[in-house]
């Protein structure tokens, strides 16, 4: 905890404090008193000029990984400038600080590591986690994104290299919804890794042991949760990129005890629901009329299926009938009720049907209106699958949501070309516009960035005690209702990412209203919820210049 009696830093120490450093934008009149006169060029910049300079510097770099590392270094030097850059052109910079670039950064984490950010809590520190949390300098943390690195995007077990995910996620909390960065904390729980390449790599920075499982792992998670509650009692915990065997039970264990959620399960589900709601404005159908087939039956697939089922139920359909309209397919084939290899969380979506061993055969048999890919199997939505969907549906809905781009089930061009331009398409990673028969089609990106920052801002603005499933359904509607007719005409079913801050604040206000309406808030209800949410939002500016 910062010492209140300690004098504010000056001189070189000030220039190395990312929260206080302004770099070349320190006013000339203040430099002498701050003991930085002579340590900077003699002409003072504005923040706007600094942003322009960073844009020019970024343009000189050859690869996205270089740009990621440049921005990471900027974040460790000058936090205000970092967020001013991100928020100056969110559509350009989001793919650089998060997917798809963050995947490569996580894979190469130990080889490109240059500055520590966040907290690393190893299982060797059992019994002392509260002490380690006390080393974090900010006394008030409202949001923690935590991973154990076992299932990073579609790349698998990257051990502590997964830290890039919490860091990137929290940067987007701020850039996309205005959550103040000083209230955020990225954490990696190091319980070992089963990645043999990492264990043999002399540069690997994590524990050199296989992953801890079972009761010992569960006790470590419990100690972590209790330590967070004691140290940061108003904190919301977001679980990120845990393997299914841990993600599902952790969420089940804590969702009704603390303010927590799992973005891979619930955020992915909400963004998929938002995409379907947007797509239905193109197809002219109703949600209750949809038949949805998933490739991938893990926590993401079942999470999406359950949230869609709950949304159907809110429109009057019995929940069992709603679940029966969602089918899942995994490496062993279609989930049917005669299979004996299914986990408990998969069973609500194992329906009565003959076994089906190939995905295209499942499409032909079930005649879905929508296919959703959460398998991380690249090119799984092949030409035969897309052409089958196009035969069955005038406007087939095709959502390859797996990240990063290298793991996408198909590209936008493939979906559009094989469906003769009729596909309603969205993907997890960005794809460029596609020309089909003289028309430009703009593929949407079903990125969780439309959901988790808005959830975060709503939790901050209300001091919500819980995060509920209904909040994610409301978030999905909040996103979908912002898609314009002009967007739909070009095939875009999500709001443009160029306007992500406004989109997130709108969605956050919708969620916040639900929190206040259902007595989940820790604050009194304001007269104008939307204005209250906006007032909570961080805007990058140097002190005295906001």
Q: Are 50 and 84 in contact (CB under 8 A)?
A: yes
Q: Are 98 and 169 in contact (CB under 8 A)?
A: yes
Our answer to whether residue 416 is catalytic in this structure is no
Q: Are 153 and 407 in contact (CB under 8 A)?
A: yes
Q: Label the pairing between strands 260-262 and 184-190.
A: unpaired
Identify the active-site residue in 68, 83, 98, 204. Answer: 98
- Decide: residue 195, CB within 10 A, 0-12 exposed, 13-18 middle, 19+ buried: buried
What the block records as the tokens of 263 is 């973005």
Residues with Cβ within 8 Å of residue 353, at least 6 apart in sequence: 334, 336, 337, 365, 366
Our answer to whether residue 234 is catalytic in this structure is no
| CA 405, chain centre distance (Å) | 15
Measured distance between the N- and C-terminal CA atoms of the chain, rounded to whole angstroms: 26
CA dist 162 and 374 (Å) reads: 19
Q: Are 355 and 333 in contact (CB under 8 A)?
A: yes
C-alpha dihedral, 458 to 464 to 469 to 475, nearest 10°: -10
CA angle (313, 316, 319) in 5-degree steps: 35
DSSP per-residue letters across 426-438: EESS----EEETT
Identify the active-site residue in 67, 68, 83, 169. Answer: 169
The residues annotated as belonging to the active site are 98, 169
């Amino acid at each position: 905890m910062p010492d209140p009696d300690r004098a504010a830093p000056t001189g070189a120490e000030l220039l190395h404090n990312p929260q206080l450093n302004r770099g070349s934008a320190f006013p000339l009149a203040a430099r002498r008193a701050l003991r930085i006169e002579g340590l900077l060029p003699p002409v003072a910049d504005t923040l706007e000029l600094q942003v322009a300079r960073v844009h020019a510097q970024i343009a000189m770099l050859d690869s996205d990984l270089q740009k990621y590392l440049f921005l990471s270094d900027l974040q460790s030097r000058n936090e205000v400038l970092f967020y001013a850059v991100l928020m100056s052109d969110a559509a350009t910079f989001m793919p650089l600080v998060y997917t798809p670039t963050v995947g490569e950064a996580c894979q190469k984490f130990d080889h490109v590591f240059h500055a520590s950010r966040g907290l690393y809590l190893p299982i060797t520190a059992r019994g002392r986690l509260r002490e380690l949390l006390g080393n974090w300098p900010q006394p008030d943390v409202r949001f923690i994104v935590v991973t154990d690195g076992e299932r990073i995007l579609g790349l698998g077990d990257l051990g502590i290299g997964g830290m890039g995910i919490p860091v990137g996620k929290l940067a987007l909390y701020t850039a996309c919804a205005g959550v103040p960065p000083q209230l955020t904390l990225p954490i990696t729980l190091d319980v070992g890794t089963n990645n043999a390449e990492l264990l043999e790599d002399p540069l690997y920075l994590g524990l050199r042991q296989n992953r801890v499982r079972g009761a010992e792992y569960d006790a470590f998670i419990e100690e972590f949760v209790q330590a967070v509650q004691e140290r940061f009692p108003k904190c919301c915990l977001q679980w990120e990129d845990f393997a299914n065997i841990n993600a599902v039970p952790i969420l089940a264990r804590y969702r009704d005890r603390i303010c927590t959620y799992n973005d891979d399960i619930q955020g992915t589900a909400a963004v998929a629901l938002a995409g379907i709601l947007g797509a239905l404005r193109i197809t002219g159908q109703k949600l209750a009329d949809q038949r949805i087939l998933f490739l991938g039956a893990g926590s993401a697939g079942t999470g999406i299926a359950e949230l869609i089922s709950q949304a159907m139920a809110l429109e009057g359909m019995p929940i069992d009938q709603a679940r029966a309209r969602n089918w899942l397919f995994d490496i062993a084939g279609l989930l049917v009720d005669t299979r004996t290899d299914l986990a408990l969380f998969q069973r609500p979506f194992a329906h009565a049907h003959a076994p089906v061993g190939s995905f295209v055969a499942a499409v032909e048999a079930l005649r879905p209106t929508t296919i959703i890919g959460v398998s991380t199997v690249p090119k799984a939505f092949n030409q035969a699958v897309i052409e089958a969907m196009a035969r069955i549906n005038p406007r087939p809905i095709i959502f390859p949501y797996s990240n990063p781009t290298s793991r996408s089930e198909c590209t936008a061009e493939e979906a559009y070309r094989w469906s003769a331009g009729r596909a309603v398409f969205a993907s997890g990673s960005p794809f460029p516009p596609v020309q089909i028969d003289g028309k430009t089609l703009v593929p949407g990106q079903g990125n969780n960035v439309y959901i988790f920052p808005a959830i975060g801002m709503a939790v901050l603005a209300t001091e919500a005690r819980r995060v509920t499933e209904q909040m994610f359904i409301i978030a999905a509607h909040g996103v979908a209702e912002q898609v314009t007719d002009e967007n739909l005409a070009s095939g875009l079913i999500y709001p443009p990412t160029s306007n992500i801050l406004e989109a997130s604040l709108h969605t956050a206000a919708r969620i916040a209203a639900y929190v206040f309406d259902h007595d989940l808030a820790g604050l009194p209800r304001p007269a104008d919820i939307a204005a209250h949410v906006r007032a909570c939002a961080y805007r990058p500016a140097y002190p005295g210049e906001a």
